[in-house]
Structure 1
Amino acid sequence: MKHVIALDVSKGKSTIVIYNRYKQCEFEGVLDHTRVDFTQLYQCIEEITALDGPAPEIVFEATDVYSKQVEKFLRDYGHTYCRMNPIEAHLQMASMR
């Protein structure tokens, strides 16, 4: 099992949570949709990949225009991601808590 990065996308920012392979939360915070924060996210993904081997799973909900910046960033840097339907994401997150 690899790390999972989950993003709860909203207007101009996302809440980000990183889970390790044991389903324990390693980090929770806010990711502003800025170049600086996306650069930090890129570095975080690279660090996790260097430590774990495989790249982390990245999951976020499709929130129309709000998630476009996140999706573009991930696509531009060649990261694989899973864009979920908001209703499905809500059900998944409820079962994780």
Structure 2
Amino acid sequence: MLKKYKGKLGISEKPNIIGTPGLDLVSLGSRVHTVAVEAIEALPGHLKAAALVPDLTPFPVKRFMATLTPPIEGYLDRVKEAARKSSAKEFGS
């Protein structure tokens, strides 16, 4: 029944690749999987066994966002102080 309406709706029978050919999610996923399997196979026996055990530990509720640089010491305090001063000027206090 769906095939009957595909032509009317302009849906192609061939799948369309979205993005750069070879860099779509399916291709990337299969490449990552292949690399992971090869990496596990290259491990020594005792490490290979440990690598094949799934880690089902849940993510911590409070976790920090990954950054490329270390945090700047006291940055948040300076931002809060600047915001406080700005709001004080705005309301004439």
Question: Shared topology, TM-score over 0.5?
Answer: no
With the length of structure 2 as denominator, give the TM-score of the two structures.
0.21
Where relative contact order (Cα < 8 A, 6+ residues apart) is larger, the structure is: 1
More helix by proportion, 1 or 2?
Answer: 2
With the length of structure 1 as denominator, give the TM-score of the two structures.
0.20
More strand by proportion, 1 or 2?
Answer: 1
